[in-house]
Structure 1
């Protein structure tokens, strides 16, 4: 009985892993282009970043997991930006005051863009906070992560390193 239970557990775990991999795993769809205003007043266009590995992190100031991962994302940005990696934080709130207030308390060095009308969020089918999209140097969406839990940053790092090597 115990052997059958262990086999069932392993099979269920494998099935769940494959299902998650298909949702989060590599793909090769062309990333939808966009241009958004940044905190500094510049407009950032995705098309201008071709040749870079780009990480889009969709977040909101009211999102606890977003707040938790933001300092970790900043470390990644600092570590890999000189190697052809660009991290863009895309705030999805209509009113940017809460985001600005939170960023004043927890500053980041990567560009923060404002998607007040959620047009870019819709292009990338963002339906969870945070959502993180990895785009390869050719402009293809390669990975999508919905949500964040401690430890996910290890997978982010693996994906950044793999895409930088391509």
Structure 2
């Protein structure tokens, strides 16, 4: 992608962030206020976020060479007509987003009017929270007919995940009908080539895991995974008990629970019990730092693509799962040390 800037922008102060499966980007400076970005696509398209001062804009780029001209005005990062790229939230040059925006404008206005004069503390009010859920659901579902209209465009797939599924599931995860609607839309209404991608399979697994989570007295999901050191491990072992601890470094209760797992590791023989931590951090460095600082010595898996979380239907951290001969015999959300210890004493001592 070629980026041209005028004298309103210091090109050395621009920053770039690439997402959605794109491998690292090389930045080539050139004369005449021009920057060239190169890299190898790992997906059909990827998003490029360009930041300057406090402003930012996001583009969707594919395999074709693309170009954009930037200028800074009124504390905002502006651009001319893009070539072979889409500004993802542009109602002028991006016809897909223009149609989505216009079609669901009444729902967007209702949402904005509802939150006018309110703040995040109002989420603690159950009635307001339920109204907010309904408004978010209306906005999300209103986008689907337009996405179906452009079902063969990567932008529709990108928007479905990043602007419909990802933001809405956090508050609508227990709305089974809504989740099933999203799952069916992905399976039936978007181009099948998107479902075959790594991202498509991840979304499908996430939605399916919510609809059909692994439950007590059912078989544990059979997953081929590696620990943080690259060793193959099984979460469906048959020769010993397996205790899974879903956690993250940013989760206060998870950190508070670490001494409990350290004590379990000392109390129960290794030939009878395996403890496996399933880490849900946003990046591996946070996971590794906490493992070192807290002296965590049991097996750890970095669940980068959320495959394990989705397969087990994990919505809360920490969550503990106990498996016996491939069958889930216990599952608990939050800190639950006394019940877990009592169950392990009954099974192992």
TM over 0.5: yes
CA separation in 1, counterparts of 2:290 and 2:282? 15
Structure 1 residues 58-106: Cα deviation after superposition (integer angstroms, max 9, x where no partner): 0011000000001211210222133501110010224111011111111
Structure 1 residues 34-68: Cα deviation after superposition (integer angstroms, max 9, x where no partner): 23221222121224x21211110000110000000
Q: 1:53 aligns with which of 241, 245, 249?
A: 241
- Contact preservation (8 Å) 1:88, 1:113: yes
Alignment gaps of 5+ in structure 1: 1-25
1:80-119 map, 5 Å? 80-119=268-307
Q: Relative to 1, partners in 2 of residues 1:35 and 1:162: Cα closer, same or farther, differing over 3 Å?
A: farther
Equivalent in the alignment of 2:221: 32
Matched, 1:158 2:158: no
- Contact preservation (8 Å) 1:58, 1:91: yes
Q: Relative to 1, partners in 2 of residues 1:31 and 1:163: Cα closer, same or farther, differing over 3 Å?
A: farther
- Contact preservation (8 Å) 2:280, 2:304: yes
Q: 2:329 aligns with which of 136, 139, 142?
A: 142
Quick one: higher RCO (CA 8 Å, sep 6+), 1 or 2? Answer: 1
Matched, 1:121 2:309: yes
- Contact preservation (8 Å) 1:66, 1:130: yes
Q: Which has the larger radius of gyration?
A: 2
Structure 1 residues 121-146: Cα deviation after superposition (integer angstroms, max 9, x where no partner): 0111100001100111x211011111
- Contact preservation (8 Å) 1:31, 1:141: yes
How many equivalent residue pairs? Answer: 135
CA separation in 2, counterparts of 1:98 and 1:82? 27
- Contact preservation (8 Å) 1:53, 1:160: no
TM-score by length of structure 2 reads: 0.37
